[in-house]
Every structure is written in structure tokens, then in C-alpha cells.
Structure 1
């Protein structure tokens, strides 16, 4: 006897199709030209389905970017802080590079005009990743790889600020050698006395 379709599976399949469609269309058209109608058509769902789950295209794209970031930007701990930071920042750079950069820069630009989207972007996408960064850096402090009094807010700005500066002003993402130099210089500011990162 055939079993009836699982509504939770169907819902997740539709959700995944919508998020994938949003990222694909951002890459193809740019965030500014993205519409809910286009997302619905690409995903094979109705606009009503999208609006049942998200209030705006910004909310859809935020979920899509959050999903994509969760897959690639975790902090690893091999015991070698410089290498771990290089790996994590490389993953962030990949996420901020074409074809994904249109979705992210579009979200940032729209969040400047939309307080609710700005709140969601900060609380759901940015803050959890700041917490993960600081947890990794505190572990490095406990292991003696960072000075015990290292200011982790300043460290956050020194590691990630240059990448977002390059993103926003279309200066191109750092290549592997530039990233290695960025990590080395930033770590030097926070290393314990008489040590090398």
C-alpha cells in the first residue's frame, strides 16, 4: 500500500528550492533585479508559499546566505591558530566572491534602509559568527597562542575589516598570499611576548 506524502519533507524540499533559486538568481541578475515572482518561478512554487514563510526578498536571501555560510565558514581547531584563521578566512572570501557576492552586498545595502532586515542580518548571520570567532580566539588564549589580555573586539576588526572593506568598495578579495600576510600581521598584534604566531 503506498504511503501518503510526508508534508514536512515536501515543505523542506520547497524551502530548499526557494533558497537555491534566490542565490542562483542573485548570481544571474543581481540582487537589485531579484523579485519574489522570479524566485517562485525558478523554485516551482507559488508567491503565496514564499510569503507564507518570508516577508520579503531580503528575508529569503538572508536565509539562503545563512544556510550557505553555515556550510563553509566554521572555525576549525588544528592547534595552529594562523593556519586555522587562514582556512576560515579563505572560506569567508569564497562566500563573498562571485557568484555569491551579489546576494551579500545586496543584503548589506538593503539593510542600511530596512531596520528589521538590519536587525535580522546582525542577529542571525553576524552575531553567531562573532561568537564563534571569539570562542576560537579564547581557546588560543588558553593555549598560550594569544596574549591573555588580547582585545578580541579589536582582533575581530583587524581580521575581518579588510575583507569587508574590499567587498564594499569592489577592490577584489585578497589572494592566498595577501591573506597569509593579513593573518600574520594581525596575529603579531595579539601574540604573547617573545612568541611567533
Structure 2
């Protein structure tokens, strides 16, 4: 007879964590953050609530980790398909339209919108969670825009004196504003208009004056 093999506790823990991640994301998407509870996550995942409390201090922490895991898996899939990041085809407007349309699709996806909205709201009242949200989720995306805009500066598509950090806010802030307020639809046409307005400007004629720079 072969010797009895002890259960692999690390494997069991990984399965439990994955079940908890999936349960947290699903519940927030279905019922909203306020109605999602540790007890509900535990029941959905098929684990005891003490298991969750042993690993996380709050449902916000569970959701944060679950969403980070989701983002990491999506990044791996995109990399495997040769995607990820902002493309550089030599046509900045076309590249930005492509990525903003993809952002619109993500923000309109309940599986992503629910957790993102919950973390955004909770991060306002929980500074530590908000800092983690910015560091691990927002900043990496922002850096992709900075890299693409700097490449456009180098190729002469953009003015050399603009601050890419300020310029990218002209692109992503309107999407976030409309998405948070939920007063108007978030569409591809709107994303295209943002790119056109940001790159083309609003004035009928060029205006002078020293550019403002972000000192952060």
C-alpha cells in the first residue's frame, strides 16, 4: 500500500481564497457594497466567516484584494494575447480612442463597475484603503497614459512643453465624472469626443500664455 498523503493545506487555502474572491466580487455586483456582508461572502464561498476574519480585517479589505487579483489575471490574459497597455501606432488620437472605448466597456460591465464603485466610495472615508486603491490600481493605469503621451511628445505629435500628468486627466477625468454621477450614458461616442476635445482644444484660435505644470 502506498503511504497516506497528508492534505496540502496551502492548496486548500488557495482554493478558499479564490472562492472568497469570486464570492465578494459577485455579491458586490449583484447586491451592491452596502448589502454585501462578511457572512454573505462566507456563505457564498462555502467557508466559515472566521476564515475570512483570520485573513482580512474587513469586507473592504476582502474586496480590495479580490479586485487586485482580478486586475492581475486580466493583465496576464491581455499580455498572453499580445495586448495590454496603450498601443503606439503612430496615430495618437486613434490609440487614445481605442483605450478610452475599452475603458467605457469596463466601466459599463457590472462585474467590474460594482467593485470599482464600492472601492472608490470606501476609499474616500478610509484613507488607508484609498491609498492602496490609488497605488495598486490607479497609478499603474495612469503611468500607461504618461508613457504614451511622452512618446507622442518625442514624435512631435504633442507640444513638448505640456505636462503629461495633467494632460491625461483631460482624458480620464470626464469618463470618471460621468460614470460616478450616472446622469448621462457612458458611450463610445462620448469617449471619442473626449479625445477630440482634449487634443484639438476648445478655443476657436490658439491662445498664448505659459503652460501650467504639475509640481507633484
Q: Which category of TM-score, normalised to the shorter sequence, fits these structures? A: 0.7 to 0.9
| Equivalent of 2:188 in 168, 176, 181 | 176
Aligned match for 1:48, one of 39, 45, 50 = 50
- Counterpart of 2:95? 84
Question: What's the TM-score once normalised by structure 2's chain length?
Answer: 0.76
Kindly provide the CA deviation profile for residues 104-123 of structure 1, in whole angstroms up to 9, marking residues without a partner as x.
22222222211221121122
Does residue 97 (structure 1) correspond to residue 97 (structure 2)? The answer is no
Residue 150 (structure 1) aligned to one of 154, 162, 174 = 162
Q: Deviations over 1:28-77 (max 9, x none)?
A: 11111011111111112222222233221111212233333441684232
Structure 2: 5+ residue stretches without partners: 79-83, 207-216
3-state SS, counterpart of residue 32 of structure 1? coil
Instruction: Could you tell me which runs of 5 or more consecutive residues in structure 1 were left unpaired when the two chains were aligned.
Output: none
Q: How does 1:17-32 map to 2 (within 5 A)?
A: 17-32=19-34
Which residue is 1:160 aligned to? 172
Match of 2:14 in 1: 12
2: distance between equivalents of 1:68 and 1:173? 25
- Number of aligned residue pairs: 190
User: CA RMSD of the aligned region, Å?
Assistant: 2.4
TM-score scaled by length of structure 1: 0.83
Instruction: Assess, with a 3 A threshold, how the Cα gap between structure 1 residues 25 and 147 changes in structure 2: closer, same or farther.
Output: same
Q: 2:192 & 2:182 partners in 1: Cα distance? A: 20
Q: Secondary structure at the match of 2:182?
A: coil
Q: 1:19 touches 1:64 (CA, 8 Å); kept in 2?
A: yes
Question: Following TM superposition, by how much is the alpha carbon of 1:10 offset from its aligned partner in structure 2, in angstroms?
Answer: 3.1
Contact persistence 2:88–2:148 (CA under 8 A): no
Whole-angstrom distance in 2 between the partners of 1:135 and 1:53? 36
